[in-house]
């Protein structure tokens, strides 16, 4: 990628996204090379080959643990590190995109660990989005449907014709957010069929949820959270 450019546009840095130390080094190397970070896409994910909640052998347990580490912990680590570096941009801020899956929006007895990690990514991303724009950071989640990649080779056994979404639609979903991060902050973008990309409404906060608003003191909750949020952001900006 760098050969035809007048200056360096890409670097390679190996990292296990489920390992905080390795991922932090990748962010640090990127920042030192380019001087700033504007966009972070947490895209690493594994299908969880060998994961079977009904299997008690050691291999199944290890596969389950790895799936959780990469698919969910890796996204939380990547988001935490992204915030650290995007805060350095001041008012310019930046954006974060987390890759989940349409599997995270449904109950799946066939891949419960995988779908649960993707559901966690959706909830996590939407929760962060409720406050991230206060510091000029926009965050969204992409939930592709069945995408025509090697990871989905086994799915061909049961998918109907035309079920796969084209990779160009998946890529377009990311660019939709990148081109309008403030307008799409806190939404879920789902390329579900080739040529069809769905965009959700923005999520509500816990204090706007009718069942929770009956259980908590909204003003006190907001006061406590905002104080802690401001203290944490101030500390992070100082690091």
229 and 180 in a common domain:
no
Residue 9 lies in a domain: no
160 and 213 in a common domain:
no
189: CATH: 3.40.50.720
239 and 142 in a common domain:
no
Residue 4 lies in a domain: no
229 and 138 in a common domain:
no
- Specify the pLDDT at position 60: 80
- Specify the pLDDT at position 54: 80
Residue 55 lies in a domain: yes
User: Of 41, 28, 33, 29, which Cα lies nearest the Cα of 8?
Assistant: 33
All residues at 6 or more sequence positions from 144 whose CB lies less than 8 Å from its CB, including other chains: 99, 101, 102, 165, 170, 173, 190, 191
Burial degree of 236 (CB within 10 A; 0-12, 13-18, 19+): middle
Q: What is the span of the domain harbouring residue 150?
A: 20-203
All residues at 6 or more sequence positions from 129 whose CB lies less than 8 Å from its CB, including other chains: 138, 139, 140, 185, 186, 202, 203
- Specify the pLDDT at position 148: 74
170 and 226 in a common domain:
no
Residue 2 lies in a domain: no
Does the predicted TM-score (pTM) go above 0.85? Answer: yes
Say how many Å lie between the first and final Cα of the chain, rounded. Answer: 32
111 and 25 in a common domain:
yes
Mean pLDDT by 10 residues, the chain (239 residues): 80 94 97 96 83 77 90 97 96 96 88 92 93 94 84 72 83 94 90 76 67 80 90 87
Count up the domains in the chain and report the number: 2
Residue 10 lies in a domain: no
Exposure string (b/e) for 11-32, b if CB count within 10 Å is 16 or more? eeeebebbebeebeebbeebee
215 and 195 in a common domain:
no
User: Of 123, 116, 196, which Cα lies nearest the Cα of 164?
Assistant: 196
145 and 96 in a common domain:
yes
All residues at 6 or more sequence positions from 199 whose CB lies less than 8 Å from its CB, including other chains: 176, 184, 187, 188, 189, 190
Exposure string (b/e) for 142-163, b if CB count within 10 Å is 16 or more? bbbbbbbeeeeeeeeeeeeeeb
Residue 160 lies in a domain: yes
Residue 15 lies in a domain: no
227 and 192 in a common domain:
no
164 and 228 in a common domain:
no
Residue 3 lies in a domain: no
- Specify the pLDDT at position 77: 98
- Specify the pLDDT at position 48: 65
212 and 186 in a common domain:
no
238 and 151 in a common domain:
no
Residue with tokens 């390679």: 12
């Amino acid at each position: 990628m760098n050969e035809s450019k007048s200056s360096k546009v890409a670097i390679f840095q190996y990292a296990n996204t489920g390992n905080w130390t390795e991922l932090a080094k990748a962010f640090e190397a990127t920042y030192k090379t380019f001087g700033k970070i504007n966009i972070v896409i947490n895209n690493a994910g594994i299908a969880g080959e060998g994961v079977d909640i009904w299997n008690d052998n050691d291999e199944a347990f290890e596969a389950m643990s790895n799936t959780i580490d990469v698919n969910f912990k890796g996204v939380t680590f990547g988001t935490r590190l992204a915030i650290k570096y995007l805060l350095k941009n001041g008012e310019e801020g930046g954006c974060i995109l987390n890759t989940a899956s349409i599997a995270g929006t449904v109950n799946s007895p066939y891949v419960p660990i995988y779908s649960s990690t993707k559901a966690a990514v959706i909830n996590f991303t939407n929760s962060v989005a409720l406050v991230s724009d206060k510091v000029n950071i926009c965050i969204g989640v992409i939930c592709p449907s069945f995408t025509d990649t090697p990871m989905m080779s086994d799915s061909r056994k049961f998918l109907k014709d035309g079920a796969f979404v084209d990779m160009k639609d998946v890529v377009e979903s990311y660019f939709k957010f990148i081109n309008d991060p403030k307008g799409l902050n806190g939404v879920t973008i789902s390329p579900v069929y080739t040529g069809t990309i769905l965009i959700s409404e923005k999520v509500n906060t816990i204090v706007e949820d009718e069942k929770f608003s009956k259980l908590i003191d909204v003003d006190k909750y907001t006061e406590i959270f905002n104080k802690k949020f401001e203290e944490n952001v101030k500390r992070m900006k100082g690091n």
